[in-house]
Amino acid sequence: MKVGIIRCQQTEDMCPGRMDFKIASEGKMAFEETGPVEIVGFVSCGGCPGKRAVSRAKLMVDAGAEAIVFTSCISKGNPIGIPCPHFSVMREAVAKKIGSDVKIIDWSH
């Protein structure tokens, strides 16, 4: 399976995404159901309130992503413990744009 990953722009300076790449290639944690995946894109949400996530998700789907993954820094607040207050609206907007054929995974690790 091919995935596109969206991360929080505000945590980029605290997290290089190493764990996301590791677990995706190993098929662990959020990827246990899919098994190892190929990452076709790794982008930020574009900053609050995450409006750029919609067009960026579409670009990754156009590049072959079969699923869009919101990293745990967005949905769970890793590593600082503060989840994105815009997550549900951003997720809904992405889902509407990419359609129901593309899976959405709400966390990574």
User: Is the peptide bond preceding residue 79 cis, with omega within 30 degrees of 0?
Assistant: yes
Coil vs helix vs strand at 95? helix
Interval 45-87: pLDDT, tens: 999 999 999 999 999 999 999 999 999 999 999 888 999 999 9
Interval 2-35: pLDDT, tens: 999 999 999 988 889 999 999 999 999 999 999 9
Q: Which two tokens stand for residue 105?
A: 């995974």
Contact (Cβ atoms closer than 8 angstroms) between residue 27 and residue 77: no
Determine which helix (DSSP H) or strand (DSSP E) holds 29, and give its type and residue range: none
For the CA atoms of 58, 67, 60, 23, the dihedral, rounded to the nearest 10 degrees, stands at 140
- How do the domains of the chain map onto residue ranges? 2-105
Burial (Cβ within 10 Å: 0-12, 13-18, ≥19) of residue 28: middle
Percent of the chain at pLDDT exceeding 70: 100
Q: What is the pLDDT of residue 12?
A: 87
What is the CATH code for 2-105? 3.40.50
Ramachandran angles phi, psi of 57, nearest 5° = -60, -45
Report field, pTM of the whole predicted structure over 0.85:
yes
